[in-house]
Structure 1
Amino acid sequence: MKTRDITQIAVMVAVIIVLGYIPPIPIGLIPVPLVLQNMGIILASLLLGRKNGSYAVGLFVALAFVGFPVLSGGHGGAAVFVGPTAGYIYAWLVTPFLLGTLLRSHQHLAWEISATILIGVLFINLSGALWLSVTTHLALSKALLAGLVFLPGDLLKSGVAIALHRRLRLLDQFAAVEK
């Protein structure tokens, strides 16, 4: 692994952690708050691709698992991985691989938006709702319905992640031309 890869992975882990320090917004309907960390997961997937994005998210999740308070609201520890929000965290682990695979050979904006919505919004929210349903004994239909509250914010966060990705990619291309 190159020094540049290690640096980019470390920076993305730091970005995801910093996004967790923005206070979560409790919804009240379900024990899952609105958070910004999923934007960092999507951004890591877009910027680093499936391999390095998976390393970044995996390292972040490992830090949370061993007890570092890196999850939104200062949470961490193994107990989080069996609680009502764990489905989202498990989905985060595979998001870079899935999104990176879908975007591997496609650079078109429409494809990037579609793949990001499919994986970064729908897959994560569906996984979270399924886990929530199992752990809280909430009917799946109710968990899915309650999860709809996340869609507008998640679509906005995905849009921001795509815009940042495209802007940073342009800057990287510009820097390469300058060399």
Structure 2
Amino acid sequence: MKIRTITQVALMTAILIMLGLIPGIPLGFIPVPIVLQNLGIVLAGALLGSKKGTLAVLMLLILVALGCPFLPGGRGGIAVFVGPSGGYLVSYLLCPFIMGEALKLFSNKNQLVDFAIIWIIGVVFINTCGAIGLSVITGIPLLKAIFSVLVFIPGDTIKAIAAVFIFEKLKANAAFRSNI
């Protein structure tokens, strides 16, 4: 059982790293780019559950803090945690735990419920934490920071739909369910 857990966490960490290697799309009016890595964060919580998903994200963040360039744009090092994306990175650590617990409590055969949980935590929660961090670190007024991160909602909603699709397909697989 321990080997299975280590393998699952390592594979999810590798997926998070690979998604971080895809360059972000800079917007110009906000110092935070559009990234694909948050899809992996959402999947970590949905697929692995609260403990293993959080552990996979923690491993990524430790590697980033040690200087590995595993964030979009080849960013890494402790400085990224106190930069404009710092709030997002904090939410990345909390997201899998909250999502795993919420899915454990409320998930059923209803895809709409799963989508609501994934969207609220994976889109609203992450972007709210990101806006708060952006406001604190850059000095932008909180309301302006909240309005500026609204640009991420459409793309993040598409990522949430993709996450629900992947989650539902794997959840239906009996072998997958028995391994989590």
* Amino acid corresponding to residue 28 of structure 1 in structure 2: G
Q: Secondary structure at the match of 2:29?
A: coil
Q: 1:76 — aligned with what?
A: 76
Residue among 165, 169, 172 paired with 1:170: 172
Identity %: 46
Q: 1:138 — aligned with what?
A: 140
Q: 2:102 — aligned with what?
A: 102
CA–CA separation in structure 2 for the residues paired with 1:116 and 1:176: 18
- The CA deviation at 1:169 is 2.3
Residue among 143, 152, 156 paired with 2:154: 152
- The CA deviation at 1:117 is 1.1
Structure 1: stretches of 5+ with no match in the other structure: none
CA–CA separation in structure 1 for the residues paired with 2:44 and 2:61: 13
* Amino acid corresponding to residue 139 of structure 1 in structure 2: P
Distance 1:122 1:176, change over 3 A: closer
Q: 1:90 — aligned with what?
A: 90
Q: 1:48 — aligned with what?
A: 48
Q: Secondary structure at the match of 1:28?
A: coil
- Confirm or deny: 8 A CA contact 2:170 2:176 kept in the other structure: no
Distance 1:77 1:98, change over 3 A: same
Instruction: Say what the alpha-carbon RMSD is for the aligned residues.
Output: 1.6
- The CA deviation at 1:170 is 2.4
Q: 2:60 — aligned with what?
A: 60
Aligned residues: 176
CA–CA separation in structure 2 for the residues paired with 1:65 and 1:158: 27
Q: 1:14 — aligned with what?
A: 14
Q: 2:118 — aligned with what?
A: 116
Deviating 4+ runs (over 3 angstroms): 174-177
Please give the per-residue CA displacement for 1:26-66, whole angstroms capped at 9, x wherever unaligned. Answer: 01111000000000000111000001001101111111111
Q: 1:129 — aligned with what?
A: 131
CA–CA separation in structure 2 for the residues paired with 1:98 and 1:165: 16
Structure 2: stretches of 5+ with no match in the other structure: none
Q: Secondary structure at the match of 2:154?
A: helix
Q: Secondary structure at the match of 2:8?
A: helix
* Amino acid corresponding to residue 131 of structure 2 in structure 1: A
* TM-score normalised to structure 2 length: 0.93
